[in-house]
Chain A
Amino acid sequence: MANLSLTATCNRSCSFCFAAESMETHQGATFMPLEVVESAFDLLTRSQVAEARLLGGEPTVHPEFTTIVDRALARGFRILVFSGGLIPPKALHRLEAIPEEQLAVLINVIAPGTGKPSEEARQREVFERLGRRVVLGVTIESPGDDLCFLIDLIERFDLARTVRLGLGHPILGAGNTHLHPRHYPEVGARTTEFGLIARARGIALSFDCGWVPCMFPAEAMATLGLTEHEVGLRCSPILDLLPDGSYVSCYPLAARAREALVDHATLASVRDAFLDKQRADRPFMLYKECGPCHWRAEGKCTGGCLSASLQRTRHRDFAVEVPHGG
């Protein structure tokens, strides 16, 4: 899989945004040119990927968004749009016409009372019009975040009965709002409570990258029917193709390494190139306890978000004077 980051601009300004640093420092295209989009579609086809994942910034503000959607559908891709939910009228009109089986719009939802009223109202209008094509997503940035409003929204607007849960990860070397790993166990406990309520209402949980099995209470994974693949092994990595045609392994690690989009590449070859670059970083772990951890020893956890793990590494200039003969 890979995300096509169509835009380096957004109509929301979320404090946790992983892409904020890349959008501020991007050099080159604000909007992915159509020829780069076509090259990316070629790559997906070459890599036998059935889904075009359209990301941003806010992908729906791309001036050629409807053309991109048309071309993706013409090539037979299913479309997944990652959106902040403030979808411009023309783009919304186009998305409304696509059948559910060919489209999902993952919307990072504004919790009631936490955003601008006009933006909240606009999101609710989008929910109303796209209905079951909408999958609600949240990025948890504080251990106290309450998730139960998601169930109310799903039932009120008859949205897809899946919730996508993400953790606020740090952009390496930047200052976005993120969830500190010391709060993970509290988030795991709250997520377990929420998961049980959701499951009773026929709503499934889906997890974004960076979750680790040890953050859940004992037996919670089994109770919720989760596997280690869903919570411990999500960082393959899924690549982000930026508007200028370069790849990063993910937005939080964008400053670490980039690869250019080349004609003969496949997603597997690009991913291997990144894994090779990350080999020296992988021994770094989220917690002090990760070294002897059984989840890791059994291959059921990769050690959490690599950006969060690197965030806890130290560099301090130091020197030591050694006496001759010492």
Chain B
Amino acid sequence: MTTYHVTRGTHWSVGRTSLTVSDGQGGVWTFVHPEAALWDLLSRGTRFDAAVELMRHIASMSADESSAFVGAAIEAWHDAGLLEQR
């Protein structure tokens, strides 16, 4: 298991069609579907397996596609500095 935590200072705001995330240091990202839905789920404490299952339905993906999508998104957010390993 690798545990990723949201980086201190990161804050976000939910819009009607997108989700805006700031790292608090000048970096801003706008997520749209399906990344916005995944961020919202994770920020509410949804576990990895549950997120994969929910995203499968939300984004009409297969189980494998959903698992790959969730894993890749978390990795990308880690690379961007929005998530960190502690």
Contacts and interface: CB of A to CB of B under 8 A. Distances in A.
A76 interface: no
Contacts of B16: 288-289, 291-292
B30 to A, nearest CB: 7
Nearest to B10: A315
B12 A318 contact: no
B58 interface: no
A316 interface: yes
A316 B10 CA distance: 9
Interface in A71-92: none
Contacts of A323: 1, 48
Interface stretch (A114-122, A125-133, A219-227, A276-284): A276-284
A162 B20 CA distance: 39
Nearest to B41: A320
A320 B74 contact: yes
B26 A280 contact: yes
Summarize A's interface: helix, strand, loop or mixed: loop
Contacts of B28: 280, 283
Nearest to B46: A320
B5 interface: yes
B42 interface: yes
Nearest to B45: A318
Interface in B23-69: 24-28, 30, 42-48, 51, 67
Interface residues of B, number: 37
A255 interface: no
A192 to B, nearest CB: 25
A283 B2 contact: no
A291 B71 contact: no
Interface in A311-326: 312-324, 326
Contacts of B18: 291
A320 B12 contact: no
A324 B71 CA distance: 10
Contact of A314 (B12, B42, B45, B71): B12
B81 interface: no
Contact of B22 (A280, A316, A319, A321): A280
Given A321-B1, A322-B71, A314 B13 contact: yes
Given A281-B22, A283-B20, A322 B15 contact: no
A281 B15 CA distance: 15
Nearest to A282: B28
Given A291-B15, A315-B11, A326-B71, 9 more contacts: A284-B22, A285-B13, A290-B15, A312-B13, A319-B4, A319-B6, A320-B51, A322-B4, A323-B48
- A-B pairs, top 6 by smallest CB distance, nearest first, are A315-B11, A313-B11, A288-B16, A319-B5, A291-B15, A313-B13
